[in-house]
Homo-oligomer: A and B are copies of this chain.
């Protein structure tokens, strides 16, 4: 793994669901099926499993015959502990040549016998929480290509979803676009990325630069934001990512009813205009013409009959497209982006 500059997964995937009974614990697997169904060969379920991703059930042998590249641990086992019965299957998959992909806190190589099994099968053990080694310090030099970063005043407010949805909308609109994932779930969905909050502090912006390298002038990188430059715990990650990404544009992810930082109730959230203004002020250090290109709103807690009016008011106030990506999609953002970014080249 040390020679890689990013985590990169090998499709197609066999998604290990195990004996999960609660869909909320299978979010990663569901995300993979939702965003990249073409990379999914099937699911592996054990007796008693009540979760169904709607993809073919495959045994390990069937998956191997189907040329599966990776066995993806797509669930968070209760208590974080992988049951012994799973390990036998995981080892068998590695021996059969499938990469083992995990977003769990434990390191796969710490599991006795698994490294040997992987070696025997020429398979890799991929811990998506482990950043690549030999990251550079950020140089801040302007790279060709366009970049859009999703940002927010808080965590867990839609940055990953918005990045995935915007990337998808850009591609559907005929634009060249790549989603650049920075968190474990995003990496498993996008198939590659760098877990930016796990890198050593000195290399945050350097990792962000590697993540979104120079590209065609009309190519978009849609970069999954992490943390927030306003967050008392994670601001360093967010500012390093902002500077390293050197985005031309950013989308603010916003929850109109969230007043305080999730899990940090002693911190109120700054108002939306301050979020926009401060990202411009800080971001222009590496991207002089940085601008906000829209607001991605989680309207799920608004009364249904107030949703549209809220978004319209917000659009009027900010002069920007404001969408709920789950309901409206991201086409309005795409139109605005292609509009303000003009002709490629």
Residues of A within 8 A of B (CB): 137-141, 196-202, 204-206, 229-230, 232-241, 243, 264, 266-267, 278, 281-282, 285-286
Contacts and interface: CB of A to CB of B under 8 A. Distances in A.
Given A199-B200, A205-B234, 9 more contacts: A140-B264, A198-B202, A201-B204, A205-B232, A229-B239, A229-B282, A232-B285, A237-B240, A282-B282
B235 A266 contact: no
A258 B270 CA distance: 35
A240 to B, nearest CB: 3
B200 A198 contact: yes
Contacts of A264: 139-140
A137 B200 CA distance: 14
Q: Copies per complex?
A: 2
Nearest to A286: B232
Given A198-B201, A239-B239, A266 B232 contact: no
Contact of A233 (B140, B236, B282): B140
A229 B230 CA distance: 13
Contacts of A199: 200-201
13 contacts: A138-B233, A197-B200, A197-B201, A197-B202, A201-B201, A202-B234, A202-B237, A229-B239, A232-B243, A235-B239, A237-B240, A239-B239, A278-B282
Contacts of A241: 236
A239 B238 CA distance: 9
